[in-house]
Structure 1
């Protein structure tokens, strides 16, 4: 049986160059400048479908990279509305290795009305997290001390303009110290990761010679819940569907037509309930069949990671986890999740009606081995087995007359499969060693993250090791309202990137 290499031996097998005190000294001397540049970048709206503002972001990044001598250029797709990759490079004379550092500059769509006090693209400092009673602060003057426990609130503070500013500031710090990276550095800032990266594969394919390297490091996501740095060797894939159930052609008075006209909200609720048992196991036939077995190395890594489950349950106010599994064990399986439900109105806006439609959005986070299109096919087969007629368009008059239970299933654009780099990959060993040298505890090595990143598209074009390194606080509210980053995590992220750029592989 394959045996996982103990962390101490793993670190001894890699040559790490601890980041010099000069990087921290540079940050301390330039905190206000760094924060100001970050705030300016966060103030530009960055939803991937907002083409004018995405272009504003790209041009801002071009200027930031030009100032640093990184020879930036835009890598475009065939369609002019495609968010471009912003590319830059730092070549090192005599370097025998090349690494790509990736982050994305787009962010999730958001509903400004749901944000607390400050709009999503109006960066706002608070003394602490909102939940801890943090109060609003003005952006500090140059003569005011910056508290590392402050939180900065705005869309993409953590996901993922943090990665962008960390890469650029680490370059500043190394250049100020007159220190070169240990390898050639190529920089890729993507502009549609949160939209599923539908054009990333195309852009990569058009630029293969330019982007050739010995591996990619993805700067995205949080540190471990314990606060320790972590290196993640894989990501889950992702796909999703929208399911709409149909009743009458128009909403009906519940008194005149109740108990007579079918209610699509009830129909959809029963359908969703049929997909999972009381313990959370998915009941769709064959749903887990393609999940790759979890190897001994991966299981050992999970066992070695800190157990934060009880603390997380307490913080989140949940009595038990779904299925009773540990969090990291749950991430190794394909999941089925209801993202949201909509049918007429509730609360003060509720009316006594039978709604005409009900819609649910579902996502599936895919384990290694599961195929995104095939997983959707399995769910559609389950829906049909529950007695529903499935259509890909609005039901026709003929379908309405013929079928008592109709749902429309719409596949989301931009799905992709999971990727996992072997845990004994030299790039992985070196990265774990480099981050472990930054603190008094070893960095955590995990086989996969819970989230998804477009590593599948990268792997299809460049079969090299792919790792992700997160820097944000784990309670950063990414993808939700009140997204934030703890200032100390911003400072730590700069040292993380600098350590990776100066490590030996």
Structure 2
């Protein structure tokens, strides 16, 4: 009888938790419906402020706007967290301390965005003048005016730089707290807010901020709101991110360009040399052939492997959308592939093409290699593995333009400039008690499966939170997967924005 009673008591507690969460979610939905017009107006005003890393005045306007948003909501201890570098964008901080709270959650998003080339955007669009469309532009969505009555369709989209990455994150976090406050829902956890200003620039000074303000940033969990939901459209929780670094490569040949008729078959062609070098780095099945590339990978746990097996397959969907018939890593699904370290060619350049093409042998060829890392990889070590591979192909590796003496001595010369701002991967265990609360909370907001991803394909410097704060992190993205982040025509689907408020509020209400 005692065992049965304990089981029933546990069931009652779980039911009460789900009921409390559901009641909270209903009040959040009510808030969103009643305040849609205000939410969109504030969001578009936010999007209208340029937020490119090189634009210091623009970033200062963004921080002022965020602080105003926080102040209006009654958030306390609002301040800028600065570094010793005056030009470095500060993080914006605020908090809501709850009497008797035994746990503290920090909600993270970033307010800076990627550079823009307006000429690449659709002709109806200005990257910093938000435009409303009836759907995705590439699927026939048309430009419409923002409705005066505040009535919006979930499938409509707002187009602007940072609409999804990551001003949407800032917006949903602050509106989630607003909804909780206005609805009178009771908080059990202390809430802290941290909005970074240089994530798109590699979070160069984040370590200094975390170290300088360590006491202020104490918490039980960081909740990262960045990135897209699963390609199936289902909500997802991501427990890790890949690390990132890169190398710039330049292969040299003749000191001046040569006529391809007079010197072809005789003078070395740097474009061909670089192409062969890059081709040596991967086999036909997409596996990286650099020695030791996979040796230090930390294997997935049994729990992570089980979660991976439950992730819905979107391979056929994405191949159709992207117009490709085969994938690079044979035998691996998209989900499995992003849990592997990768080597990608970001771009190559040598000579001219198109109308500017001429019959010449160019003097050099250059490429940028992007390395994505998983848990166990160290970014400098991963760079060195690639450099060692290049040397094994017979190249003299230098960090400068080759001298005449070096040109005489070495047949194959390459300049390699490794990035100095790489970072490692990070992954949080799925079976931690607080993580289980996060999973349960998100599940209350949807009848669909919540996708649990051990690792996100993209990169964030989350290892810094572990290194400097000893903190755990979990990523809960809200943007539509086809949001064009980092590219032209970036957008956010309104349904994702509204559901994001609901998702963030459910996390703020965990017990």
Q: Sort the Cα spacing of 1:187 and 1:399 in 2 relative to 1 into closer, same or farther, 3 A.
A: same
Q: Is the 8 A contact 1:233 1:428 kept in 2?
A: no
Aligned with residue 147 of structure 2, among 140, 144, 157: 140
Q: Sort the Cα spacing of 1:393 and 1:185 in 2 relative to 1 into closer, same or farther, 3 A.
A: same
Structure 2 unmatched ranges of 5 or more: 1-10
Give the structure 2 partner of residue 452 of structure 1: 459
Encode CA deviations 1:61-95: one digit per residue, 9 max, x unaligned. Answer: 12222222223211011100111111111111221
C-alpha separation in 1, matches of 2:262 and 2:160 = 48
Give the structure 1 partner of residue 5 of structure 2: none
Q: Is the 8 A contact 1:427 1:465 kept in 2?
A: no
Give the structure 1 partner of residue 49 of structure 2: 44
Encode CA deviations 1:3-43: one digit per residue, 9 max, x unaligned. Answer: xxxxxx9x969945233322111111211211111112112
C-alpha separation in 2, matches of 1:56 and 1:371 = 37
Aligned with residue 193 of structure 1, among 178, 194, 199: 199
TM-score, length-scaled by structure 1: 0.94
Give the structure 2 partner of residue 107 of structure 1: 113
Give the structure 2 partner of residue 3 of structure 1: none
Q: Does 1:368 align with 2:375?
A: yes
Encode CA deviations 1:250-306: one digit per residue, 9 max, x unaligned. Answer: 433434443333222111111110100011000000110011112211110011121
C-alpha separation in 2, matches of 1:20 and 1:13 = 15
Give the structure 2 partner of residue 168 of structure 1: 174
Q: Does 1:342 align with 2:349?
A: yes
Larger radius of gyration: 2
In the TM superposition, structure 1's runs of 4+ consecutive aligned residues that sit over 6 Å from their partners are none
- Comparing 428-437 and 344-353, the one that deviates more: 344-353
C-alpha separation in 2, matches of 1:137 and 1:155 = 18
- Comparing 61-70 and 146-155, the one that deviates more: 61-70
Q: Sort the Cα spacing of 1:399 and 1:209 in 2 relative to 1 into closer, same or farther, 3 A.
A: same
Q: Sort the Cα spacing of 1:144 and 1:27 in 2 relative to 1 into closer, same or farther, 3 A.
A: closer
- Comparing 241-250 and 464-473, the one that deviates more: 241-250
Q: Sort the Cα spacing of 1:183 and 1:320 in 2 relative to 1 into closer, same or farther, 3 A.
A: same
Q: Sort the Cα spacing of 1:132 and 1:327 in 2 relative to 1 into closer, same or farther, 3 A.
A: same
Q: Sort the Cα spacing of 1:385 and 1:478 in 2 relative to 1 into closer, same or farther, 3 A.
A: same
Q: Does 1:271 align with 2:300?
A: no
CA RMSD of aligned residues (A): 1.8
Aligned with residue 245 of structure 2, among 216, 239, 258: 239
Report deviation, 1:144.
Answer: 5.3
Q: Is the 8 A contact 1:435 1:442 kept in 2?
A: no
Q: Sort the Cα spacing of 1:425 and 1:396 in 2 relative to 1 into closer, same or farther, 3 A.
A: same
Q: Does 1:28 align with 2:29?
A: no
Aligned with residue 296 of structure 2, among 290, 297, 302: 290
Structure 1 unmatched ranges of 5 or more: 1-8
Aligned with residue 400 of structure 1, among 407, 410, 432: 407
Give the structure 1 partner of residue 221 of structure 2: 215
C-alpha separation in 1, matches of 2:367 and 2:42 = 40
C-alpha separation in 1, matches of 2:406 and 2:63 = 47
Q: Is the 8 A contact 1:242 1:361 kept in 2?
A: yes
Partner of 1:249: helix, strand, or coil?
A: coil
Q: Does 1:420 align with 2:453?
A: no
C-alpha separation in 2, matches of 1:365 and 1:59 = 34
Q: Is the 8 A contact 1:14 1:426 kept in 2?
A: no
C-alpha separation in 2, matches of 1:326 and 1:234 = 18
Give the structure 2 partner of residue 131 of structure 1: 138
Give the structure 2 partner of residue 385 of structure 1: 392
Give the structure 1 partner of residue 325 of structure 2: 319
C-alpha separation in 2, matches of 1:487 and 1:351 = 49
Q: Does 1:280 align with 2:286?
A: yes
TM-score, length-scaled by structure 2: 0.93
Report deviation, 1:351.
Answer: 2.8
Q: Does 1:177 align with 2:183?
A: yes
Aligned with residue 299 of structure 1, among 293, 301, 305: 305
C-alpha separation in 1, matches of 2:156 and 2:506 = 24
Q: Sort the Cα spacing of 1:380 and 1:14 in 2 relative to 1 into closer, same or farther, 3 A.
A: farther
- Comparing 490-499 and 254-263, the one that deviates more: 254-263
Aligned with residue 437 of structure 2, among 430, 439, 442: 430
Q: Is the 8 A contact 2:25 2:445 kept in 1?
A: no
Q: Is the 8 A contact 1:126 1:136 kept in 2?
A: yes
C-alpha separation in 1, matches of 2:503 and 2:295 = 38
C-alpha separation in 2, matches of 1:125 and 1:204 = 38
**Between Structure 1 and Structure 2, how many residues are aligned?**
494
Give the structure 2 partner of residue 463 of structure 1: 470
Q: Does 1:332 align with 2:339?
A: yes
